[in-house]
Structure 1
Amino acid sequence: MTRYNKMGLVGEVSLLRLYLLRGLYLLVVVGLGFTVWPDFINRSESWELMEGVVQCMLVAFWALSVLGLRYPLQMLPVLLWELVWKSVWLIIVALPMWISGHMDNSTLETAIACLLVVIFPFVIPWRFVFINYAKKRGDRWG
């Protein structure tokens, strides 16, 4: 069991859950390492605006996931962000296109890549999240 009181984080997280979190971060690090870094490093021409934005965000996500290998609980907001944006995209963009039969190959590829997020809810320590992000008193405003 782990308790991080000196950083203001409270809650018990089993060693198994910490290893599962590290496994999830490792999956992201390896996956993005193979898919994003080669194009990022070997790029000879400039990117279009949104392609550049996406690539830079993926590299930032990769870097924060590397930190998650060492600090799995402190980097949980990164996984929560990933869970939320992918879930929203799948529900608001992909699902209506799929239901209407208007999903093209590019959108289908993105949807399949985003579906990896279905494992996140099983790995994230929700009790810890509730204690530290919902129940815990917020920082003062002034």
Structure 2
Amino acid sequence: MINTVNNTDEVSVTRLYVLRAMYVLVVIGLGITLMPYVFFPKKPLATWEFFRGVETCMMVAFWLLCALGIRYPLQLLPVLMWELIWKTIWLLAVPLPLWLNGTLDEKLLPNVFAIGAVVLVYIAMPWSYVYRHYVKKQGNQWRNNT
């Protein structure tokens, strides 16, 4: 019989594959949308606006870490947690208030839908593992006790 639970991490093999699929989705999605601008830019990267350059470099780092997450899905969970947190904050802070007061711009909708895909991360996240390892588990010591 095949063991469906990773005994050391208490996460099923199925959940690990769901996480891997999430990482693959990010790698493919960013690979299609972002990497052409990085590898074949229309203008040199050094001439980009400051925040456009920062955003692009951060997303490339995220892309690389998600690629690594395909092999190490649990070790790279903080990367998916970062994505989940920033996208949730953005959805709550930017489009939700606009929608609530009836001023949501049609131009913003594609971003709302793209960023709203964060619901997939909520589904893929092994929440009991997150709770055990990031909430309940004792943190590392701050100093030597000797």
Q: Which residue of 1 aligns with 2:14?
A: 16
1:8-87 map, 5 Å: 11-43=9-41, 44-45=43-44, 46-87=47-88
Q: How many residues align?
A: 136
- Of 24-33 and 90-99, deviating more is 90-99
- Of 83-92 and 44-53, deviating more is 44-53
Per-residue deviation, 1:102: 2.5
What CA distance in whole angstroms lies between the structure 2 residues aligned with 1:133 and 1:96? Answer: 31
> Could you tell me the TM-score, scaled by structure 2's length?
0.88
> Could you tell me the TM-score, scaled by structure 1's length?
0.90
The percentage of counterpart residues that share the same residue type is 47
Q: Which residue of 2 aligns with 1:2?
A: 6
Q: Deviations over 1:75-119 (max 9, x none)?
A: 000001100110010011111112223233442222111011011
Residue ranges of structure 1 left out of the alignment (5+ in a row): 5-10
Instruction: Give the 4+ runs in structure 1 shifted more than 6 A.
Output: none
Q: Which residue of 2 aligns with 1:8?
A: none
CA root-mean-square deviation: 1.3
3-state SS, counterpart of residue 31 of structure 1: helix
